[in-house]
């Protein structure tokens, strides 16, 4: 397993690159970074210890995009659900110029309607 700090840094980087590419319409780069985030998600899925050490840290990152991904992954994994919903509600109220507010709204909607998120 990689060093936890390295996983955190990669996660943050992939989340930011995904959002930036999505906003610019660069679907190839967005898809590539989504796939990388999914690989980390799968590591979290396989390791309770990793979930405990990483998700709360990422939920409290200063970057809203990182918070969004961490919240979505937390809900999907059943960890820190109250924190994740609270974070998504906060992000959803921000300006779309500064944060992925639409994405946060859609994540909350999906979670509310289906009670499950999949990656």
Q: Is the pLDDT of residue 76 over 80?
A: yes
pLDDT for 118 equals 84
Q: Does residue 1 register a pLDDT over 60? A: no
pLDDT mean across residues, the chain: 94
Question: What residue numbers bound the domain in which 29 lies?
Answer: 4-114
Q: Is residue 119 a part of any domain in this protein?
A: no
Kindly tell me if the per-residue pLDDT of 29 is higher than 90: yes
Share of the chain above pLDDT 70, in %: 98
In a domain, 24, yes or no: yes
Buried b / exposed e along 73-107 (16+ C-beta atoms within 10 A)? bbbbbebbeebbbebbeebbeeeeeebbbebbbeb
Is the pLDDT score of 27 beyond 90? yes
Q: How many domains does the chain have?
A: 1
């Amino acid at each position: 397993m990689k060093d936890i700090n390295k996983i955190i840094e990669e996660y943050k980087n992939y989340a930011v690159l995904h959002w930036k590419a999505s906003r610019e319409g660069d679907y190839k780069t967005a898809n590539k970074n989504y796939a990388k985030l999914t690989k980390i998600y799968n590591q979290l899925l396989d390791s309770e210890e990793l979930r405990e050490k990483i998700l709360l840290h990422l939920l409290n990152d200063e970057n809203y995009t990182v918070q969004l991904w961490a919240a979505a992954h937390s809900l999907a994994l059943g960890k820190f659900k109250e924190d994740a919903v609270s974070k998504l509600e906060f992000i959803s109220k921000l300006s779309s110029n500064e944060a992925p507010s639409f994405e946060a709204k859609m994540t909350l909607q999906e979670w509310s309607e289906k009670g499950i998120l999949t990656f």
